[in-house]
Amino acid sequence: MIQLFTRDVVLSVRSGGGFGLALAFFLIVVVLMPFALGPDQFVLAKIAPGLLWLGALLACLLSSDRIFGMDYEDGTLELLATSPLPLESVYLAKSAAHWLTTGLPLSLAAPVFGLLLNLNLKVGGVLCLSLLLGTPALSLIGSFGATLTLGVRRGGLLLSLLVLPLYIPTLIFGALAVNAAALGKALDGSLLSILAISLGAIAVLPFFSAMALRANLQ
């Protein structure tokens, strides 16, 4: 499992498909938004929490179809299915690699990008924490969607349609946490809700994803 995780991390960093593309997409969203909304700093600061969370969510989704897609095309996934490693562990290893190369960089970059939207550093810290708690759920749900769309032509569009509704609770609580920090309100409930979603995804999705992989590999 550790070797599979390391392999996926190395491949992602070398190819830039997950590591660089997600960050570039996130930066483009943040840079272009002031041009669309105007230079009003108050307006930008007000919408920054939701916008940054939405940008990170879409950036995670952008590379989700690559989690299993390349291994499915070259036959590696079939070899993994016949190995002693359970498919649940394969799913967790690949999801963890996706989070490390996509979710973690996005979480750390978000406060810096937030400065472009007039987000102060204190609120940026809460944004970073909420993303650190929530992006594991995004990677796990995205990986689950990828197992359902294996072998489907133009599966990226179908993956988005399947996954985006499942992302909504994480997006809502993430934006609520950052907005609460901006207004000086208590945010423990929102952060705990995000953590609960991530832990629930870790507990439940490996089993459903393994079932989907077995069905698609038969």
Report the 10 Å Cβ neighbour count for 118: 15
Q: Where are the beta strands (DSSP E) in 159-198?
A: none
Higher pLDDT, 158 or 129: 129
Task: Give the pLDDT score at 96.
Answer: 92
For the chain, the average pLDDT equals 84
As a whole number, mean pLDDT of residues 197-210 equals 92
Residue 17 scores a pLDDT above 60: no
Among 17-21, 75-79, 85-89, 205-209, the range of highest mean pLDDT: 205-209
As a whole number of angstroms, the longest Cα–Cα distance in the chain is: 58
Task: Give the pLDDT score at 170.
Answer: 93
Sign, CA dihedral 90-75-154-29, equals: positive
As a whole number, mean pLDDT of residues 96-120 equals 88
Task: Give the pLDDT score at 214.
Answer: 84
Residue 15 pLDDT level (bands cut at 50, 70, 90) = low
Residue 129 tokens, joined: 């924490």
Higher pLDDT, 218 or 91: 91
Residue 46 tokens, joined: 């007000």
Task: Give the pLDDT score at 29.
Answer: 86
Residue 107 pLDDT level (bands cut at 50, 70, 90) = very high
As a whole number, mean pLDDT of residues 62-86 equals 78
Residue 124 tokens, joined: 């940026």
Residue 23 tokens, joined: 């960050």
